[in-house]
Amino acid sequence: MKKIVFSTILTLVLLSLHKPAAGEPLSDEKLHKFLKRIQSAAKDEGISDLEHALFRLSVRMQNYSIGSVAPINGELYARATKSTNGLIIQEKNWSGLPSSQSQLVVIQNGQVLNSFKGIDCTGATLVMFCPTEIQFIDLKNQKAGFFKRPKPEEMDNDD
């Protein structure tokens, strides 16, 4: 029971940090202090792998559809009850493979950039290379994060 209460409180606190009040940006120092307190509380509750616990809270927590539509964000919805994998992107319908097949869909700026069939959704790892950071989502090990990249002049040349 303590873990459920702790998880609920942690989720609410993290959600409040996601969008700080106007004029109150969350500094790295404040975030670091907060995470230290969270780590200490997690240890007190017997949660040894905080990173894994946070990932489960944020990514693996089941969301619920509203009727036949599953909201992902304000402009993106999954069609949950259709016989094909489908999305509503900025009020436009997109249809993919039959719902009995796994499919990974990459969406950016309201457009489907690409779709991949046959992806093992439980073992996939997504890696996104950006100029300033590398982001990843490891579904098998239930981890997600990012790494800052050095400035271009500090990077190694490919050999």
Residue 123, token pair as written in the block: 């073992």
- Asked whether residue 159 is assigned to any structural domain, the reply reads no
Which pLDDT score, from 0 to 100, does residue 40 have?
78
Which pLDDT score, from 0 to 100, does residue 86 have?
93
Q: What is the domain count for the chain?
A: 3
Pair (7, 52) in one structural domain:
yes
Contact 123, 104 (CB under 8 A): no
Separation between Cα atoms, residue 79 and residue 25, nearest integer Å = 35
Range of the domain at 150: 125-154
- Each residue's pLDDT tens digit, 75-96: 899 998 889 999 999 999 999 9
- Asked whether residue 92 is assigned to any structural domain, the reply reads yes
Residue 114, token pair as written in the block: 């690409």
Pair (79, 52) in one structural domain:
no
Separation between Cα atoms, residue 86 and residue 75, nearest integer Å = 14
Pair (110, 80) in one structural domain:
yes
H-only helix segments in 46-96:
50-55
Which pLDDT score, from 0 to 100, does residue 1 have?
45
**CA nearest to 126, candidates 134, 137, 117, 139:** 137
Range 120-125 average pLDDT: 81
Looking up tokens 């094909």 gives 84
93 versus 124: the higher-pLDDT residue is: 93
pTM check: above 0.75:
no
Pair (8, 56) in one structural domain:
yes
